């Protein structure tokens, strides 16, 4: 389950492979902070390699994310992460040492497909986002039709590459997807409590397809790991102001585990009302995205709670900020951005999506000596490994994000002025995701009961 620091930080690969993974460019160094690895003359001048064949025209890029309202708790984090990645790329001289990026950010809103198509009409060379799984399902077929690379920040629905676009070419996902975060928390529940001590499970999840899917997958996973019975399932609407009936039901059942995929402002509502009604005396809560509200949930709401949260691909502090520069520098820069109290995994979604694409383009330039086509970038992105301050990431050959995930106890840090995770466990992608070509459901069914 937990990897050693050495395994986690390097992925078990050597120095030469590390250099290969990051592409050996100034941009990669700026994004991942590998300057110490590149300081012995192994960096290359991309402009010289290209023989001047790379345009100096700025790259027009688009980001589709939620910039306001309740979903903005996640969306603004992704936006700020993407903006900081673009800033660092441009400060390093741009893609190929010659092409800076101009990022256009549009609110996902109620007509995200129109916004995405507007990006294409404007001639965007790459797009990033979205946040919503529903939006991702809408735009993924359009991405394939348009032939313009998109690296999603979130949009983590499990069925995207199983059913919606089962053979993608241009659509990629940086973020770990739903089954990965759910299996992480099922394993975390067993790790913390013990399989023999989990006989009853309840769930409170968002009342739409995401929450229903997460509860279904958690049920399948936990019942493969334990003999647990599901004693309650509740699905409050997004933004519900009263969750008393769900909390009362949990208090009546006193389940060993309560699973939740509530996110954003719903986390604060649920935790505050559950704490006021002593729910945490009757159950232990395991949630996939509770930490998404780290900057918003107040300290008094978390006092005396017993909550374990996942963090899809990143938790600031794990790996340690000093391990992957510019960890502390990036952390401090993030907290100075508007709307970011403390950067969360969704901040890394924006930063990581841009980094995935940028390092793939740099790698293609290394190989080709000129600026790559969309098809060539897509080929490099399949199985592409790269670094961020969160460590080593990989986009699998089936276009899924495949990074380590984290889970720990959610506590309030007075010095930070936000929630954080402590006593963090790390789970490798091989523990939480099916192999390429295998559906999540078939993979879970294959587990020994």
The position carrying tokens 């929630």 is 419
Residue 427 forms part of a structural domain: yes
Alpha carbons 342 and 270: distance in angstroms, whole number? 21
pLDDT at 35: 34
Whether residues 153 and 120 share a domain: the answer is: yes
pLDDT at 24: 53
The position carrying tokens 């990026």 is 101
Whether residues 85 and 156 share a domain: the answer is: yes
Alpha carbons 255 and 198: distance in angstroms, whole number? 8
Whether residues 376 and 303 share a domain: the answer is: no
Alpha carbons 421 and 405: distance in angstroms, whole number? 13
Choose among 263, 282, 304, 310: nearest CA to 200. Answer: 282
Alpha carbons 303 and 299: distance in angstroms, whole number? 6
pLDDT at 391: 80
Whether residues 101 and 248 share a domain: the answer is: no
Whether residues 64 and 95 share a domain: the answer is: yes
Whether residues 68 and 112 share a domain: the answer is: yes
Whether residues 308 and 240 share a domain: the answer is: yes
Burial 393-431 (b: 16+ CB within 10 A, else e): bbbbebbbbbbbbbbbebebeeeeebbbbeeebbbbbee
CATH (domain of 77): 3.40.50.2300
Would you write out the chain's pLDDT as a tens digit for each of its 449 residues? 443 333 333 333 333 444 444 445 677 767 765 433 333 334 444 444 444 578 899 999 999 999 988 778 889 999 999 999 999 999 999 999 999 999 999 999 889 999 999 999 999 999 999 998 889 999 999 999 999 999 999 998 888 999 999 999 999 999 899 999 999 999 999 999 999 999 999 999 999 888 998 999 999 999 999 999 999 999 999 889 999 999 999 999 999 999 999 988 899 999 999 999 999 999 999 999 898 888 888 899 999 898 999 987 766 666 666 666 667 788 888 889 998 888 888 899 999 999 999 999 999 999 999 999 999 999 999 999 998 887 888 999 999 998 888 999 999 989 888 888 899 999 999 999 999 889 999 999 999 75
Choose among 211, 266, 220: nearest CA to 71. Answer: 266
Residue 22 forms part of a structural domain: no
pLDDT at 19: 42
Whether residues 172 and 212 share a domain: the answer is: no
Whether residues 120 and 95 share a domain: the answer is: yes
Alpha carbons 324 and 271: distance in angstroms, whole number? 33
Sheet with strand 200-204: strands edge to edge:
229-234, 200-204, 257-260, 284-287, 307-311, 405-413, 418-427
Query: What's the total number of domains in the chain?
Result: 2
Residue 355 forms part of a structural domain: yes
Whether residues 139 and 267 share a domain: the answer is: no
Residue 38 forms part of a structural domain: no
Whether residues 433 and 300 share a domain: the answer is: yes
Domain that holds residue 157: 59-176+320-403
Whether residues 334 and 293 share a domain: the answer is: no
**φ/ψ (deg, to 5) at 252:** -70, -40
């Amino acid at each position: 389950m937990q990897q050693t620091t050495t395994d986690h930080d390097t992925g078990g690969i050597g120095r030469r492979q590390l250099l290969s993974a990051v592409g050996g460019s100034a941009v990669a160094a700026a994004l991942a902070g590998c300057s110490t690895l590149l300081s012995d003359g192994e960096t290359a001048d991309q402009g010289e390699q290209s023989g001047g064949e790379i345009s100096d025209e700025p790259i027009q890029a688009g980001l589709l994310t939620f910039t306001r309202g309740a979903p903005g708790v996640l969306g603004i984090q992704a936006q700020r992460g993407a903006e900081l990645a673009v800033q660092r790329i441009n400060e390093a001289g741009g893609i190929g040492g010659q092409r800076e990026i101009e990022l256009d950010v549009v609110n996902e809103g109620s007509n995200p497909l129109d916004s995405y198509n507007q990006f294409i009409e404007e001639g965007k060379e790459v797009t990033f986002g979205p946040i919503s799984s529903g939006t991702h399902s809408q735009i993924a077929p359009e991405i394939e039709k348009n032939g313009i690379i998109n690296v999603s920040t979130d949009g983590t629905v499990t069925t995207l590459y199983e059913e919606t676009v089962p053979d993608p070419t241009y659509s990629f996902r940086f973020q770990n997807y739903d089954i990965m975060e759910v299996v992480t928390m099922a394993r975390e529940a067993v790790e913390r409590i013990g399989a023999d001590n989990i006989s009853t499970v309840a769930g409170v999840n968002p009342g739409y397809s995401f929450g229903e899917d997460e509860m279904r997958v958690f049920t399948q996973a936990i019942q493969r790991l334990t003999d647990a019975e599901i004693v309650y399932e509740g699905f409050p609407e997004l933004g519900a102001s009263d969750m008393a009936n769900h909390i009362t039901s949990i208090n009546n059942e006193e389940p060993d585990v309560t699973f939740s995929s509530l996110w954003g402002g719903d986390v604060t509502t649920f935790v505050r009302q559950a704490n006021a009604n002593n729910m945490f005396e009757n159950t232990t809560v395991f949630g996939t995205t509770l930490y998404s509200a780290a900057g918003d949930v107040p300290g008094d709401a978390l006092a005396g709670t017993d909550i374990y949260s996942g963090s899809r691909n990143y938790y600031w502090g794990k790996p340690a900020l000093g391990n992957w520069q510019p960890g502390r520098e990036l952390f401090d820069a993030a907290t100075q951005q508007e709307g970011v109290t403390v950067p969360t995994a969704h901040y890394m979604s924006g930063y990581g999506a841009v980094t995935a694409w940028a390092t793939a383009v740099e790698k293609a330039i290394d190989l080709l000596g000129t600026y790559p086509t969309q098809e060539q970038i897509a080929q490099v992105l399949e199985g592409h490994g790269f670094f961020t301050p969160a460590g080593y990431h990989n986009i699998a050959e089936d276009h899924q994000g495949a990074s380590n995930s984290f889970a720990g106890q959610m506590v309030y840090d007075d010095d930070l002025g936000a929630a954080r995770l402590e006593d963090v466990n790390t789970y490798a992608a091989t523990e939480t995701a099916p192999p390429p070509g295998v559906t999540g459901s078939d993979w879970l069914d294959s587990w020994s009961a």
